[in-house]
Structure 1
Amino acid sequence: MLRGRPTRTAQWAVIGAALVTAGLLAPGSPTAGAATAADGDVLRGPAAPAEYSYLQKKIPGEPLPRHAYESAASEAAELPRTPGRWKSLGPTNIGGRIVDLALDPQDADTVYAAAASGGLWRSTNAGRTFSPAWPAQQTQAMGAVATASDGTLYAGTGEPNPGGGSLTYEGTGVYRSTDDGKTWKSAGLRDSGTVGALRTDPRDPRRIFAAAAGSLYVPGGDRGVYLSENAGKSWRHVLDVPNEFTGAVDVQIDPAEPDRVYAVMWDRRREPDKRTYGGTGSGVFRSDDGGSTWRRLGGGLPASGPDTGRIGLGVAASEPGRLYALVGDAKGGFAGFFTSADAGDSWTRLPDDSKLAQSQGGFSWWFGKVWVDPDDARHVHAAGVALMTSKDGGASWTGESQAVHVDQHAMVWDPRRPSRVYLGNDGGVYRSEADGDRGWTKATSMPWTQLYSVATTPQDTGRISGGAQDNGSLRSWGGAGFNEYLGGDGLQNLINPADRDNVYACYQYGNCARSTDGGNAMTYFTQATTSDRRNWFTPLQFDPVNPRVMYYGGNRLNRSTDGGVTWQPISPDLTGGPSRDNYPYGTLTTVAAARDGRTVWAGTDDGRVWVTRDLGATWTKVLEGQPWVTRVVVDPKDPETAYVALSGYRSGEAQPHLLRTTDAGASWTDLSGNLPQAPVNDVVLAGGGRLYAATDQGVFTHNGSRGWRRLGGGMPLVPVDDLDYDARNHRLVAATFGRGFYEFRTP
């Protein structure tokens, strides 16, 4: 039993132990449970970022198509809106993944933060609070932000970090603002897919470099390094790529010699059954003539080859020619830390430090960043699960795993505030007044949390909980603002509709716990269930009549009659078995029980839907060959009427995303209609036959012959992963993947 809110180290220790119990991690394997500042051990193995969202969003046998999200967003924009507005419910104090930071050139207290799937934000009080600096109906997927000396602000859309447990969405190019983010204009590179970095020339604000990383899923497009000399009105492709999946993930202008420019290239590709995060195109390049010509740097760096992974590059301002390179391998491992004293002509590999190596966690492709103190070339920070720090030029390292949230992605020093530095990671934005060595202060207002789920209770409209990407299971009670009451990646959350203190929360691969005191003390019950495989997001549901009856789906369906204390399997394996890779796949993804006490529906990640009419004594397969089944919902008045929501982006012809049966699956009707061609992540059946569908392009409603309409205004263009309908209080609460919780008042 976990009592109170344990430290992050203790949380990960419990996660590692539970993964061993669940058969997902071998005893003795290095796990997240060893993550401490002292020994530097970090999250790895099956507990590392998995493939849940990628597998969910693609059609089996097909890649994720280019521009599919953008096309669906355009379709959504054409639909009429219903009256009413969504209201943001937070959290504001939790945050989420920040991929880049930039400072205002005129105001030392103004900082811009690019959220992975939450848009661009502006703080005018040194990173304490943030307000939107990006259009609500533009793509919210961000990759880079930069400011020019004249105050012009640039944003590169599309996250360059390859997807782990969460999907990283592509963008629509580069944009420019001349009024602090109030309005924006397109600045080209629309087919860049993802943007790794933007850098402006300190001598000429109209001169800007862009590192175009390209699509993770399909070849081609705008890739490599581009240079604009007219503030983004036109671009010149100055560094091409050798391979169709090579992209530029970083570009840096040498502060001591602005005509010297460095670029980091990286091969990265995600396919249905594998990921390739390295290759012969990966490496560091240098231009000595302002970007006109380039050469690959060798002289001791790993040679071009299939095993070269993502590289983080740090450039010293106080010692001209001093460089650092953190090199990963194609499998996500650590391949060495290097330094150069001659601008990259020759390199020395420094002695391996176990703490630095372990900080990469087995997924070095998630980080790839090195930052050098502008006043001290021997003071270096490196991105990892923990923030790693060296005071002797990389000879030795310490880890800041307890001072800040895990998974580091961005850092910037303020040149007008001695020793002030900002940090961006999976927990949001932090500020240090001690060069990043200590004294970190977290921002207090960051409304960009990535949520997988939401749970409400009709007993108390102020109680909301939900699972957050890399921020645990969150609750709105028990402390100031939202607080984490179970660690890991927060996934399924439930609140007993008859007892608001009886709550449930899960983290990855179905490791779930229950509580009778609102989450202060949690008791794990996963080991009491019977399954060979469990999905990253394992379904856990109440019976609609008696909440002490519960259902839990691995590859078999389990049932409890005592509130989750004990469990019994009531089905055989309802899937087609595991996939060819190493991830738990071939699992249940959704469970729905009817009010008759006998009928239960279940859907799987391999496109099957099953129904039992006798509590599991017999099962009938009523659908197969579909994309990932995200949700099955049963009509409360008729156990034979059910709705099936399907995921998957498809290029070419349209595909069903919402089906209905009124005869227990003997026949099906496609209800997709004019819905955008995008995954439907959840569906809610409300009174009067009204349907609500949560999609990657927001929430839509359908009532009779009028077709689908967008539900209200006020919600940004952000994926909605989950809906909870509170009929008693006439409200719908949405979990968005990038902008927190939203509430809509229903008829």
Structure 2
Amino acid sequence: MKKILFIAIVFCLSIVSFYIIKNVKTNGIKIGKTIYVEKNAAYLESRFRWILNRLKDPETGKIPEGIRRKELEFAKTLPNDSEKGLKSSGTWVNRGPFNVGGRTRAMALDVENENTILAGGVSGGMWRSTNSGQTWAKVTGDEQLHSVTCITQDTRAGKTNNWYYGTGEIYGNSAGESFTAFYFGDGIYKSSDNGMSWSPIEATLSNTPQIGTDFDLTWNIAINNAVDTADIIYAALKGKITRSTDGGETWTQVLGGGAVQSYFTDVKITSDGVVYAALSDEGDKKGIWRSANGIDWTNIMPSSFCSTYDRIVIGLNPSNENELYFFAVTPSCGQASYTFSNEYEYASLWKYTYETGDGAGTNGTWVNLTSNLPNNLESNFDNLNCQGSYNMVVSVQPGNNDVVILGGTNLYRSTDGFTSQNNTKQIGGYKPGTNFPDFKIYENHHPDQHVLAFLPSNSNVLFSATDGGVFKTSDCLAENVVWESLNQGYLTTQVYALSIDENNENDVIIAGFQDNGNFYVNSSDPTSSWVMPLNGDGSFSAISSDGGTYYMSIQNGKIFKMTLDNGGLPTAFARIDPIGGESYQFINPFVIDPNNDNVMYVSAGSKIWRNDSLTYIPLAGNYDSISTGWFKMGVVGNYNSTEISALAVSKNPANKLFYGTIARKVFRVDSANTGDPIHTRINDSIIFPNSNVSCIAVDPRDADKIMITYSNYNTYSLFYTENGGKWWNKVGGNLEYNIYGTGNGPSCRWASIIPVGDSTIYYVATSTGLYYTYHIQADSTEWTNVSSIGNVVTEMIKFRESDGLVVVGTHGGGIYSTKLSDNAINNQVSDNQYVNLFPNPANGVINLEFNATETPEKVLILDINGKVIKSILHISKIQKIDLMNIPQGVYFCISQFKTHKEINKFVILK
């Protein structure tokens, strides 16, 4: 239970490290710059609630267990543009950020070729480099799960092409234990071609008879390289250690489990096959364990070890494998360290030396090194900070028993094995000595340490995986360690929000990233370097109509107005959110009136603030809220009393403000730019449990045409009106698992209605990728996936009418863009509808009318679980299919043409 409570409170401390200044360098030029720092930990609750409100099942208040796997399986049944031989007009290009890495928990060097590196983003997939990180190629397939949390290689002769990686981040993701949508894993993946392609191991997938959902959350994987006659693998899962002797085809629990299970686990194996494991204190099998055969275990934890311990990570000395270091978070026990979050955190470090026998008691020697952990240093940022077990690593340099490198938010090097504090130096993470109010990080490095790897041919060369990607130093023993970023083309950043210049045809994009600030680029070159004008958890942004003023925000509603130089760095700024604003969402919406640069609307809890003097606010360099131009719109008419989650302003006609809440309601405010007008609810006809309105998309040509998205699982996601909300149609179509919206359909985050000439294209950003349609046909609307983006979570869409630019932000794969073409759209509209299925719903029979020049080779009817119910050959131009003996439910009709397939969803009602 206590670990679940940690998720709501302690975990989010892992993100505090990002509310500091970064120094990102490109070609030796500093491109990051401090303009705001937050140290108030009150945002933690806000982040927790924001994620939960967006994704929870409204009926249960929880995110459905295993929903990531289920929604990806469902997504496989949906059409994509490559299958249809179509493109959603234009070519999608990944725009980066090319020079910014995302959160990385998995990294390893190839023992056969040390120039080959494999690294995995928490939600960005597996990446491979063959030139020591100078360039990268993604080796996770577009339709595969993009979660990677640990990796290992089989180093036995003749077996080195075999790699394994685990999925599912248990502690520290945007979801945590209670919110499993973003990074909940699904099994262990294996590569047999040296990491160039990957497939899931069948026995580790969810809902198989062997292991249930155990492998959805994997801490670590280790291989026994001492045995040639069997492929022995160990996996440290939430609650247990499991073992396979056949390369993962079958598994046996060998430690842990039981009625009460440990939350944190770790496993390491020596070169002669001795296994060490650590399990946190709430489990029945808690402690530090040793096994000579991986089956029979002995608890070797010393009696003087702290009685309360959370995560324990193991560091094996490669030069003397009888020596191991155990680095632990030990609440209220061990070394106290006062951190930048103004709280004490406790940790312990022990060195163990195996002597003889089972290694327990006098058969092993323990040395308590806890008092030598870094604390009471120049700055609270310098002190050891594991952030509630989020970031922890300990490693011994090969060939040098005295050099131990240990990581929390920072990276520390001890040259006497932490036998004293005298020979310890901070070599990464935050800049040594940094402090409020102007934080810095270590040059070309990043806080929050997860993995270390030494170059086999020269152990002074050290690779580091952090929440900012992958880094390398050529001399980890130098007096002043110098790092090199290896993030060029390692496209794993996690977008929350983005903006473009919607009025001027240029290449400017601003994107707010999880834990990585707001970044700017003004180039169409995908390899261009992005710069960071504003740090924090990047949030909503906007650009003035003349392109000269920029508005950027970070977590909890803090908004800045600024000007930028030609390189994207601030020349002047002011914080402008209103004095008195409160109860902001973690990623809080604001919007600028598209017809009037002076007017901004900002939500604050259940209230809306309006500023009608934006251009007159001076860039005074202030870090505090202001009153200039702000007016809190009052409680008038059918007003809202729940938190506001989405905002939109009409373009034609002007001055209509729309807003949605976390409790399904949508309101319109006419003449919103002046006075204190009435708020009118416009979606009374939509009645279902309280769901989060994640986006309100207004047609820029006609404000009566509106699409709204609900982001929760197990609720209907998409509604559309053409009369200002008098009547709403369900338009989720094939994106919904069933006609009620329950089941395994994706979470819909954003929608856009984009005019292209005389036509319209509709886009929806979802948790299984980006989808589009040219035809809104109520609940028969067919949405098609953009295959070049794949199934990665997409968060936001922005477009520019004048040149057809569309930009999409993903949570794990960076940013994509395309240019829409009027001719291409018209071609798609005329050719897209190959199959017309009617009636729908059906009762006993359906008719298929084929509009293409050819008829399909075969038609399959599948049930909701993908089972083939009926197969029809020799298809006529109008094909009648008898379904009298098929029960009521949701079904898929797949028409297989020579070059593509069409998928129609239909319902049988009896």
Which of 574, 582, 588 pairs up with 1:532?
Answer: 582
What residue is the counterpart of 1:717 in the other structure?
Answer: 791
Distance 2:46 2:303 in 1: 31
Aligned residue identity for 1:628: N
Which of 161, 168, 177 pairs up with 2:191?
Answer: 177
Which of 569, 582, 591 pairs up with 2:631?
Answer: 569
Q: Does 1:698 align with 2:784?
A: no
Q: In 1, are the aligned partners of 2:123 and 2:148 still within 8 Å (CA)? A: yes
Which of 445, 450, 454 pairs up with 2:498?
Answer: 454
Greater Cα radius of gyration, structure 1 or 2: 2
What residue is the counterpart of 1:161 in the other structure?
Answer: 171
Aligned to 1:56, what secondary structure does the other structure show? Answer: helix
Q: In 2, are the aligned partners of 1:423 and 1:431 still within 8 Å (CA)? A: yes
Aligned to 1:53, what secondary structure does the other structure show? Answer: helix
Which of 102, 105, 110 pairs up with 2:111?
Answer: 105
Gap change, CA 1:293 and 1:48, over 3 Å in 2? farther
What residue is the counterpart of 1:33 in the other structure?
Answer: none
Gap change, CA 1:666 and 1:244, over 3 Å in 2? farther
Distance 2:722 2:99 in 1: 45
Q: Does 1:649 align with 2:647?
A: no
Q: Does 1:408 align with 2:449?
A: yes
Deviation string 1:662-684 (CA, Å, 9 cap, x unpaired) is: 55545533222211512111100
Unpaired segments ≥5 residues, structure 2: 1-20, 25-29, 206-212, 333-342, 361-365, 431-441, 618-627, 737-744, 826-910
In the TM superposition, residue 607 of structure 1 has moved relative to its aligned partner by 4.0
Gap change, CA 1:516 and 1:696, over 3 Å in 2? same
What residue is the counterpart of 2:54 in the other structure?
Answer: 56
Q: Does 1:392 align with 2:416?
A: yes
Aligned residue identity for 1:161: Y
What residue is the counterpart of 1:559 in the other structure?
Answer: 610
What residue is the counterpart of 1:348 in the other structure?
Answer: 368
Q: Does 1:495 align with 2:543?
A: yes
Aligned residue identity for 2:810: T
Gap change, CA 1:362 and 1:612, over 3 Å in 2? farther
Which of 398, 403, 406 pairs up with 1:382?
Answer: 406
Deviation string 1:637-666 (CA, Å, 9 cap, x unpaired) is: 44444322111223xxxx211123455545
Q: Does 1:628 align with 2:699?
A: no
Aligned residue identity for 1:73: L
Deviation string 1:487-544 (CA, Å, 9 cap, x unpaired) is: 1121212223x22232221111111211233552352334535422111111121212
Q: In 2, are the aligned partners of 1:453 and 1:493 still within 8 Å (CA)? A: yes
Distance 2:347 2:612 in 1: 54
Q: Does 1:475 align with 2:540?
A: no
Gap change, CA 1:69 and 1:553, over 3 Å in 2? same
Distance 2:248 2:131 in 1: 29
In the TM superposition, residue 603 of structure 1 has moved relative to its aligned partner by 1.9
What residue is the counterpart of 1:309 in the other structure?
Answer: 310
In the TM superposition, residue 701 of structure 1 has moved relative to its aligned partner by 1.4
409-418 or 180-189, larger mean C-alpha shift: 180-189
- CA RMSD, 1 decimal: 3.2
Aligned to 2:310, what secondary structure does the other structure show? Answer: strand
Gap change, CA 1:589 and 1:301, over 3 Å in 2? farther
In the TM superposition, residue 390 of structure 1 has moved relative to its aligned partner by 2.5
Distance 1:6 1:196 in 2: 29
Which of 270, 281, 301 pairs up with 1:254?
Answer: 270
In the TM superposition, residue 558 of structure 1 has moved relative to its aligned partner by 1.5
Distance 1:56 1:281 in 2: 35
What residue is the counterpart of 2:76 in the other structure?
Answer: 77
Matches within 5 A, 1:579-590: 587-590=643-646
Aligned to 1:420, what secondary structure does the other structure show? Answer: strand
Distance 1:607 1:294 in 2: 53
Deviation string 1:610-639 (CA, Å, 9 cap, x unpaired) is: 332242432234568522221112233444
Which of 218, 231, 244 pairs up with 1:195?
Answer: 218
Q: In 1, are the aligned partners of 2:43 and 2:556 still within 8 Å (CA)? A: no
Aligned to 2:221, what secondary structure does the other structure show? Answer: strand
TM-score (norm 1): 0.84
Which of 484, 488, 494 pairs up with 1:441?
Answer: 484
Distance 2:312 2:143 in 1: 34
Q: In 1, are the aligned partners of 2:772 and 2:786 still within 8 Å (CA)? A: no
Which of 725, 730, 737 pairs up with 2:804?
Answer: 730
Q: In 1, are the aligned partners of 2:78 and 2:784 still within 8 Å (CA)? A: yes
Q: In 1, are the aligned partners of 2:139 and 2:195 still within 8 Å (CA)? A: yes
Gap change, CA 1:519 and 1:11, over 3 Å in 2? closer
Distance 1:132 1:110 in 2: 13
Matches within 5 A, 1:591-670: 591-595=647-651, 596-615=653-672, 616-622=676-682, 625-650=689-714, 655-662=715-722, 664-665=724-725, 667-670=727-730
Aligned to 1:50, what secondary structure does the other structure show? Answer: helix
Deviation string 1:28-74 (CA, Å, 9 cap, x unpaired) is: xxxxxxxxxxxxxxxx5637993243442223443222221222222
In the TM superposition, residue 349 of structure 1 has moved relative to its aligned partner by 5.2
Distance 1:311 1:547 in 2: 54
What residue is the counterpart of 2:750 in the other structure?
Answer: 682
Gap change, CA 1:316 and 1:678, over 3 Å in 2? same
Q: How many residues align?
A: 683
Gap change, CA 1:111 and 1:170, over 3 Å in 2? same
Aligned residue identity for 1:457: D
What residue is the counterpart of 1:328 in the other structure?
Answer: 329
161-170 or 698-707, larger mean C-alpha shift: 161-170
What residue is the counterpart of 1:420 in the other structure?
Answer: 461
TM-score (norm 2): 0.69
Distance 1:361 1:558 in 2: 38
Unpaired segments ≥5 residues, structure 1: 20-24, 26-43, 215-222, 267-277, 578-585
Deviation string 1:320-354 (CA, Å, 9 cap, x unpaired) is: 44333332257996322221333485452521532
What residue is the counterpart of 2:552 in the other structure?
Answer: 505
Matches within 5 A, 1:275-314: 279-280=282-283, 283-300=286-303, 302=305, 308-314=309-315
Distance 2:31 2:498 in 1: 25
Deviation string 1:109-153 (CA, Å, 9 cap, x unpaired) is: 111101111111111111222112222210101111111122211
Aligned residue identity for 2:132: A
Aligned to 2:296, what secondary structure does the other structure show? Answer: coil
What residue is the counterpart of 1:520 in the other structure?
Answer: 570
Gap change, CA 1:10 and 1:482, over 3 Å in 2? closer
Aligned to 1:170, what secondary structure does the other structure show? Answer: coil
What residue is the counterpart of 1:40 in the other structure?
Answer: none
Distance 1:523 1:452 in 2: 22
Distance 2:23 2:629 in 1: 30
% identity of equivalent residues? 21
Q: In 1, are the aligned partners of 2:33 and 2:532 still within 8 Å (CA)? A: no
In the TM superposition, residue 425 of structure 1 has moved relative to its aligned partner by 0.6
Matches within 5 A, 1:231-270: 231-243=247-259, 246-247=262-263, 249-255=265-271, 258-266=272-280
Aligned residue identity for 1:704: I
In the TM superposition, residue 170 of structure 1 has moved relative to its aligned partner by 1.4
Q: In 1, are the aligned partners of 2:241 and 2:253 still within 8 Å (CA)? A: yes
Gap change, CA 1:691 and 1:145, over 3 Å in 2? same
Q: In 1, are the aligned partners of 2:240 and 2:261 still within 8 Å (CA)? A: no
